[in-house]
Chains A and B, each alone.
Chain A
Amino acid sequence: MKSLGSIRRDFAPWNDPNAKPYIQFDKVTKKFGDFTAVNNLSLTIFEREFFALLGASGCGKSTLLRMLAGFEEPTAGRILLDGQDLRGIPPYKRPVNMMFQSYALFPHMTVEKNIAFGLKQEGMPGPDVEKRVAEMLKLVKLEQFAKRKPHQLSGGQRQRVALARSVAKRPKVLLLDEPLGALDKKLREETQFELMDLQQELGLTFVVVTHDQEEAMTMADRIAIMDKGEVMQVATPAEIYEAPTSRFVAHFVGNVNMFEGKVAEHTANATRITGATGAQIVVDNGGNAAAGSDIVFAIRPEKIKVSSKKPADAVNALEGEVYDVAYLGDMTVFHIRLDDGQIVRASALNASRVTEDPLTWNDRAWVSFRPDAGVVLTR
């Protein structure tokens, strides 16, 4: 038997052209009066995938989830689950279950009865229900709380009950709306890994809606970044972070430095960029932007090296002055004001306890980075 880790490592059906999509949003539009919540959106999710919809509030991610659950019908377009068009199928007949943001636990029922609710609806015989409920309680480690009412539980315990209730029916797809939003930071981090293990163990397809990028990056196989009802990019967490395809995505996930500029020239294996304020940058992945076109060069702070002297071998080195220093323990964040006025954020990992090249406020400093450290964005 394969370990959970190796299953996760080898799992990449989105790269397989023959893989059959499991959930398909096909040119889906949803309007509420004049407001377009989801705009002509197409998206494919694969079986057993842990898929995250990431975006700011009001970007349409929850609407997408509610359409999949059946609480909203698309204004236009189709949603397919395992090849079946879901249009007109009411929520209580869909093989998907949802974990609500508010948990929506039935306050007048015990934990046990909450978990058994869905099983009884499908007419499962009594002894089987009891067995499954016991199994679920064990899964979420709440055996001794079976007879409690929801208001007698802590936030974290309620979250587990909600989770147990939504997976009790073994749905084909589990929808999670901000599943960890109400938990405190520490509990949230623990629960992220528990959710991942649970998903692997049960072999379910998870679609999670979140506004927390760290949560999405930690848990998801792939992330869809949404903005104003449209998908900006769908990719693995690493691709999203290292190879964003738009300014929006680069800005939305993590910290980034943006250099406005033009493509000066393409050479054999490099592209030279002239920044709007005069900086000359050479990159080896200039993309297909034509020479002379306006572009943005985006680079993450940790890819930038800060030093007091110009590094001898650096392809890209810009001079400036230390404007701000923030010591965070595991790393130090520098804000360097370049001589052309632009402020660059750079972070240095504090790998040793003593810094060899200490830099402080108002020191002259050089920022340098490799030609493959950033990406060129055309939109």
Chain B
Amino acid sequence: MTDIAATASPSTQTTTLPARLAKGFVDRLVIIIPYLWLLFFFLVPFIIVFKISLSQTAISMPPYTPVLDFSDGISGFFAGFRELNFDNYTWLTQDALYFNAYVTSLVIAGISTILTLIVGYPIAYGMARAPATIRPTLLMLVILPFWTSFLIRVYAWIGILKPEGLLNQLLMSLHIISQPLVILNTYTAIFIGIVYSYLPFMVLPLYSSLEKMDYSLVEAAEDLGCPPIGAFWKITFPLSLPGVVAGCLLVFIPAVGEFVIPDLLGGSQTLMIGKTLWNEFFSNRDWPVSSAVAVILLLVLIIPIMFFQQAQAKAQEQGR
């Protein structure tokens, strides 16, 4: 007994206070790092953008006023602070252009998300039910397009969709159509572009929720007299809902602010908020208004993210 105490006490003494403090610090560091990341790369930039959105445009460097700094002392800082106002937000409500751009973006993103779900679900289902040996290969094939530049892939679609492009050539050589279809520079082209580009973001969460589902549940449903289609809607689909929600948000959120696809495939007449923002910023050089557009866009997107997190928390609570 005394032997054990004698050998144990030096080691316990050395590991008590300083070691425990160090361990507490390391534990906390793990939590602090992501928060610092969010602080410097999300919150601080957001505050800067928000501040600019409350400023007025000016022909100067930078192209807005007031510029908050301490060159005139603290009183100068607060004098500048008092000049900030919500005029730009009022302006956004007065011009129907912005409202229409937001609504169009949400509608296009919504329709694209549904189309992506319709295309992605069978793919994910097929992958999840494929023999376990070929699943990694299938997963690789879904991720493979990311190895090519996003921009190049969207450009490639111009080559496919344009009036004298591959698709029209094929359909005409098969005598399915006699006139080339006008797809490029329409909303259809935007849908095709978004569905194509964002498909992996839909397939991967769907696959992960379908793959971990116990297939004996479907067998049990069939055993109890439910035909396969009924079993899909009553068992498989409800149990894959967390994946459906995750996939839809991963597609919907970036699709709302999408700029490249409507610009390259949608032509000049399509009105989406990403493009409006680009025009305000680069063509009009109106930083305050484009900042206001960006802040509103963020608010519009935060709502679905909150739904997403709620759904996730609920799924976790259910132990799945």
Contacts and interface: CB of A to CB of B under 8 A. Distances in A.
B220 A98 contact: yes
Nearest to B225: A121
A106 B235 CA distance: 7
A167 to B, nearest CB: 11
Interface in B219-245: 219-228, 230, 234-235, 238-239
Given A107-B320, A108-B238, A98 B217 contact: no
A149 B235 contact: no
A300 interface: no
B52 to A, nearest CB: 47
Contacts, number: 65
A117 B219 contact: no
A169 B222 contact: no
A42 B216 CA distance: 27
B95 interface: no
B311 to A, nearest CB: 14
A325 B5 CA distance: 41
A201 interface: no
Contacts of A93: 225
A165 B319 CA distance: 22
B224 A90 contact: no
Contact of B239 (A105, A107, A122, A151): A107
A118 B230 CA distance: 12
B217 A91 contact: no
Interface string A77-108: 00000000000001111001110101011111
B216 A100 contact: yes
Contact of A104 (B214, B226, B234): B214
A104 B220 contact: yes
B93 interface: no
Contacts of A106: 217, 220-221, 235
A71 interface: yes
Interface residues of A, number: 26
B216 A102 contact: yes
A100 B219 contact: yes
A91 B227 CA distance: 9
B133 interface: no
A69 interface: yes
A151 B318 contact: yes
Contact of A117 (B216, B224, B228): B224
Contacts of B226: 92, 117-118, 121
A90 B230 CA distance: 14
Interface string B233-263: 0110011000000000000000000000000
A104 B219 contact: yes
A92 B227 contact: yes
Contact of A169 (B217, B220, B225, B227): B225
Interface string A18-62: 000000000000000000000000000000000000000000000
A90 B222 contact: yes
A97 B224 contact: yes
Interface string B165-186: 0000000000000000000000
A197 B222 CA distance: 27
A147 to B, nearest CB: 15
A149 B238 CA distance: 15
Interface in A105-135: 105-108, 117-118, 121-122
Contact of A97 (B216, B217, B223, B238): B223
A108 B239 contact: yes
A69 B223 contact: yes
A98 B320 CA distance: 25
B223 A149 contact: no
A91 B221 CA distance: 9
B224 A107 contact: no
B224 A118 contact: yes
B222 A92 contact: yes
Contacts of B238: 108
Given A107-B318, A107-B320, A102 B222 contact: no
A91 B222 contact: yes
Interface in B182-223: 214, 216-217, 219-223
A107 B241 CA distance: 13
A93 B225 CA distance: 6
Interface in B138-188: none
A100 B230 CA distance: 20
Interface-central residue, B217, B225, B238, B318, by most chain A CB under 10 Å: B225
A326 B318 CA distance: 49
A165 to B, nearest CB: 7
B209 to A, nearest CB: 12
Interface of A: 69-71, 90-93, 96-98, 100, 102, 104-108, 117-118, 121-122, 149, 151, 165-166, 169
Given A117-B224, A121-B226, A169-B224, 14 more contacts: A69-B219, A70-B223, A71-B219, A90-B222, A91-B223, A92-B223, A92-B225, A96-B223, A97-B223, A97-B224, A104-B214, A105-B220, A118-B226, A151-B319
13 contacts: A91-B222, A91-B223, A102-B214, A104-B214, A104-B216, A106-B220, A107-B318, A108-B238, A117-B224, A121-B224, A151-B318, A166-B223, A166-B224
User: What are the 7 A-B residue pairs with the smallest beta carbon separation, nearest first?
Assistant: A118-B224, A121-B225, A104-B220, A104-B216, A91-B222, A92-B222, A151-B319
